Structure 1
Amino acid sequence: MTHFFCTFLRDDDGAVTVDWVVLTAAIVGLGLMVIIGITASLQSRTDHITTTIVATVPN
Protein backbone atom coordinates (compact mmCIF):
# COMPACT_ATOMS: atom_id res chain seq x y z
CA MET A 1 0.00 0.00 0.00
CA THR A 2 2.86 2.39 0.80
CA HIS A 3 4.48 1.62 -2.55
CA PHE A 4 1.24 2.44 -4.35
CA PHE A 5 0.88 5.74 -2.45
CA CYS A 6 4.48 6.79 -3.18
CA THR A 7 4.09 5.90 -6.85
CA PHE A 8 0.85 7.88 -6.98
CA LEU A 9 2.53 10.98 -5.52
CA ARG A 10 5.41 10.84 -8.02
CA ASP A 11 3.22 10.14 -11.03
CA ASP A 12 2.90 13.25 -13.19
CA ASP A 13 0.77 11.86 -16.01
CA GLY A 14 -1.91 14.37 -16.88
CA ALA A 15 -0.09 17.32 -15.32
CA VAL A 16 0.32 18.94 -18.74
CA THR A 17 -3.42 18.67 -19.29
CA VAL A 18 -4.06 20.60 -16.09
CA ASP A 19 -1.62 23.30 -17.22
CA TRP A 20 -3.40 23.66 -20.55
CA VAL A 21 -6.82 23.81 -18.91
CA VAL A 22 -5.67 26.58 -16.55
CA LEU A 23 -3.97 28.49 -19.37
CA THR A 24 -7.03 28.20 -21.62
CA ALA A 25 -9.35 29.35 -18.83
CA ALA A 26 -7.12 32.38 -18.20
CA ILE A 27 -7.10 33.32 -21.89
CA VAL A 28 -10.88 32.96 -22.16
CA GLY A 29 -11.34 35.07 -19.01
CA LEU A 30 -9.10 37.82 -20.32
CA GLY A 31 -10.89 37.75 -23.65
CA LEU A 32 -14.26 38.15 -21.96
CA MET A 33 -12.99 41.07 -19.89
CA VAL A 34 -11.73 42.81 -23.03
CA ILE A 35 -15.01 42.23 -24.87
CA ILE A 36 -17.04 43.57 -21.94
CA GLY A 37 -14.82 46.65 -21.73
CA ILE A 38 -15.04 47.35 -25.45
CA THR A 39 -18.80 46.83 -25.48
CA ALA A 40 -19.34 49.33 -22.66
CA SER A 41 -17.13 51.90 -24.37
CA LEU A 42 -18.82 51.44 -27.74
CA GLN A 43 -22.27 51.75 -26.18
CA SER A 44 -21.30 55.04 -24.55
CA ARG A 45 -19.89 56.45 -27.78
CA THR A 46 -22.90 55.24 -29.77
CA ASP A 47 -25.26 56.97 -27.35
CA HIS A 48 -23.26 60.20 -27.70
CA ILE A 49 -23.33 60.04 -31.51
CA THR A 50 -27.07 59.32 -31.50
CA THR A 51 -27.74 62.29 -29.21
CA THR A 52 -25.64 64.58 -31.40
CA ILE A 53 -27.38 63.48 -34.61
CA VAL A 54 -30.86 63.83 -33.10
CA ALA A 55 -29.99 67.32 -31.83
CA THR A 56 -28.76 68.52 -35.24
CA VAL A 57 -31.46 67.05 -37.48
CA PRO A 58 -34.41 69.45 -37.87
CA ASN A 59 -37.89 68.08 -37.31
Structure 2
Amino acid sequence: MAKYFEHFIRDERGAISVEWVVLTAALVGLAVSAGTIVETETHQLAADIGATVQAWDVTTPAASTSD
Protein backbone atom coordinates (compact mmCIF):
# COMPACT_ATOMS: atom_id res chain seq x y z
CA MET A 1 0.00 0.00 0.00
CA ALA A 2 2.87 2.38 0.77
CA LYS A 3 4.34 1.73 -2.67
CA TYR A 4 1.00 2.56 -4.31
CA PHE A 5 0.71 5.79 -2.29
CA GLU A 6 4.28 6.80 -3.19
CA HIS A 7 3.55 6.17 -6.88
CA PHE A 8 0.34 8.20 -6.60
CA ILE A 9 2.16 11.17 -5.04
CA ARG A 10 4.91 11.20 -7.69
CA ASP A 11 2.59 10.71 -10.66
CA GLU A 12 2.23 14.00 -12.56
CA ARG A 13 -0.20 12.87 -15.23
CA GLY A 14 -3.10 15.28 -15.37
CA ALA A 15 -1.18 18.12 -13.73
CA ILE A 16 -1.21 20.11 -16.97
CA SER A 17 -4.99 19.76 -17.17
CA VAL A 18 -5.35 21.11 -13.65
CA GLU A 19 -3.12 24.07 -14.49
CA TRP A 20 -5.19 24.88 -17.58
CA VAL A 21 -8.41 24.66 -15.59
CA VAL A 22 -7.05 27.06 -12.96
CA LEU A 23 -5.74 29.44 -15.63
CA THR A 24 -9.04 29.38 -17.49
CA ALA A 25 -11.00 29.99 -14.29
CA ALA A 26 -8.78 32.98 -13.50
CA LEU A 27 -9.32 34.43 -16.98
CA VAL A 28 -13.07 33.93 -16.75
CA GLY A 29 -13.07 35.66 -13.36
CA LEU A 30 -11.15 38.61 -14.79
CA ALA A 31 -13.49 38.84 -17.77
CA VAL A 32 -16.58 38.79 -15.54
CA SER A 33 -15.19 41.47 -13.25
CA ALA A 34 -14.17 43.66 -16.19
CA GLY A 35 -17.60 43.20 -17.75
CA THR A 36 -19.27 44.19 -14.49
CA ILE A 37 -17.18 47.34 -14.25
CA VAL A 38 -17.94 48.33 -17.85
CA GLU A 39 -21.65 47.63 -17.36
CA THR A 40 -21.82 49.73 -14.20
CA GLU A 41 -19.99 52.66 -15.77
CA THR A 42 -22.11 52.44 -18.93
CA HIS A 43 -25.33 52.59 -16.93
CA GLN A 44 -24.04 55.62 -15.02
CA LEU A 45 -23.00 57.37 -18.24
CA ALA A 46 -26.40 56.66 -19.81
CA ALA A 47 -28.15 58.09 -16.75
CA ASP A 48 -25.98 61.22 -16.90
CA ILE A 49 -26.71 61.69 -20.61
CA GLY A 50 -30.42 61.17 -20.01
CA ALA A 51 -30.46 63.77 -17.26
CA THR A 52 -28.63 66.25 -19.49
CA VAL A 53 -31.02 65.69 -22.39
CA GLN A 54 -34.06 66.09 -20.14
CA ALA A 55 -32.65 69.36 -18.84
CA TRP A 56 -32.52 70.87 -22.31
CA ASP A 57 -35.24 73.38 -23.04
CA VAL A 58 -36.47 72.44 -26.49
CA THR A 59 -39.77 74.29 -26.31
CA THR A 60 -38.29 77.62 -27.41
CA PRO A 61 -36.48 77.61 -30.73
CA ALA A 62 -33.03 79.11 -30.93
CA ALA A 63 -32.79 82.62 -32.30
CA SER A 64 -32.15 82.69 -36.01
CA THR A 65 -28.93 84.40 -36.96
CA SER A 66 -29.63 84.56 -40.69
CA ASP A 67 -31.60 87.68 -41.69
After TM superposition, the score normalised by the length of structure 1 is 0.92
The residue that corresponds to 1:55 in the other structure is: 55
1-structure distance, mates of 2:34, 2:2: 49
- 2:41 maps to amino acid: S
Q: What is the match of residue 9 of structure 1? A: 9
Deviation readout 1:5-59 (Å, 9 max, x if unpaired): 1111100110001000000000000000000000111111100000111111435
- Higher-helix-fraction structure: 1
List gaps (5 residues or longer) in structure 2: 60-67
Q: Percent identity?
A: 36
Q: 2:57 and 2:35 mapped to 1: Cα distance?
A: 32
RMSD, aligned α-carbons? 1.1
How many residue pairs are counted as aligned between the two chains?
Answer: 59
Bigger-Rg structure (1/2): 2
TM-score (norm 2): 0.82
